[in-house]
């Protein structure tokens, strides 16, 4: 696994715009190299802002949207179309405005979907989606995603993997149901850390002073059980994209000049 790299931006708006530009480049490079790209989306304020910036950018047309596979690192287990679902927010921010191939948009089943109110069944089904997309060269039950984006919570959670929760201990399954989350909604479906670590690049994006302590601990050796963000690493690159407030406690060793 890779050592962490840190990029600090002046504020959240600049971070979102710069990350959107970075994502265009990464997708276009992957498509040029092998014909298609795979991206794992994240929800939350920053994740949605990145998609909104991408929608507004003329550079979005450099991407062949019909050759992008899209996944979610986690999902709130709510009815289809619920405004709190990460899928709903991503569609409004970007996906409904670009010519994606619907068959390549891999959403988690909602709570009123095929499996009803059974998050374990929805998690197993999403694991099957990932396994079906994996190629022999991926050497496992998860595709080697080009980019996997994550937000970071104040207590250091990523996706829906919270400190000391059953999900953070999972080493075999790639997707799990998460119940009794400490923040609403209480029931979710999430990729696990072993699945996250199958991405070529993992981008951890966060803003605000409230995240500064968790960011610093993750970068300086905290254990993933107590701080799951510390266990989110990419095969080739682990990139922290921060604003100045979130980077306030990052040691000088990691923090470059603000971009």
What CATH number does residue 168 fall under?
Answer: 3.40.50.1360
Encode pLDDT of 36-83 as tens digits. 999 999 999 999 999 999 999 999 999 999 999 999 999 999 999 999
84: in domain: yes
Q: Which of 62, 1, 76 is nearest to 32 (CA)?
A: 62
Q: Which domain holds residue 131?
A: 4-243
258: in domain: no
Residues 256, 8: contact at Cβ < 8 Å? yes
- How many structural domains comprise the chain? 1
Q: State residue 106's pLDDT score.
A: 98
Q: At what angle do helices 12-34 and 44-56 cross, to 10 degrees?
A: 70
Q: State residue 207's pLDDT score.
A: 97
pTM here is 0.95
216: in domain: yes
Encode pLDDT of 79-135 as tens digits. 999 999 999 999 999 999 999 999 999 999 999 999 999 999 999 999 999 999 999
Rg (C-alpha) for the chain, rounded Å, is: 17
């Amino acid at each position: 696994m890779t050592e962490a790299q840190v990029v600090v931006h002046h504020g959240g708006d600049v971070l979102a715009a710069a990350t959107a530009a970075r994502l265009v480049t990464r997708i276009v490079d992957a498509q040029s190299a092998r014909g298609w790209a795979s991206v794992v989306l994240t929800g939350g304020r920053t994740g949605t802002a990145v998609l909104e910036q991408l929608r507004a950018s003329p550079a979005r047309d450099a991407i062949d949207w019909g050759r992008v596979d899209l996944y979610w690192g986690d999902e709130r287990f709510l009815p289809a179309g619920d405004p709190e679902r990460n899928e709903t927010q991503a569609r409004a921010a970007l996906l409904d405005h670009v010519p994606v191939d619907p068959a390549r948009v891999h959403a988690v089943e909602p709570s009123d979907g095929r499996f009803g109110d059974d998050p374990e069944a929805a998690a197993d089904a999403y694991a099957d989606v990932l396994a079906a997309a994996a190629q022999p060269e991926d050497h496992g039950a998860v595709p080697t995603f080009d980019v996997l984006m994550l937000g970071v919570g104040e207590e250091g959670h990523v996706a829906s993997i919270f400190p000391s929760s059953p999900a953070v201990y999972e080493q075999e399954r790639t997707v799990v149901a998460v119940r009794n989350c400490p923040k609403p909604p209480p029931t979710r479906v999430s990729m696990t850390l072993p699945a996250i670590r199958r991405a070529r690049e993992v981008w951890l994006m966060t803003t605000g002073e409230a995240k500064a302590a968790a960011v610093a601990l993750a970068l300086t050796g905290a254990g993933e059980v107590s701080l799951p963000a510390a266990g989110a690493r990419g095969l080739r690159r682990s990139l922290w994209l921060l604003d100045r407030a979130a980077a306030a406690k990052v040691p000088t060793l990691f923090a470059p000049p603000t971009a």
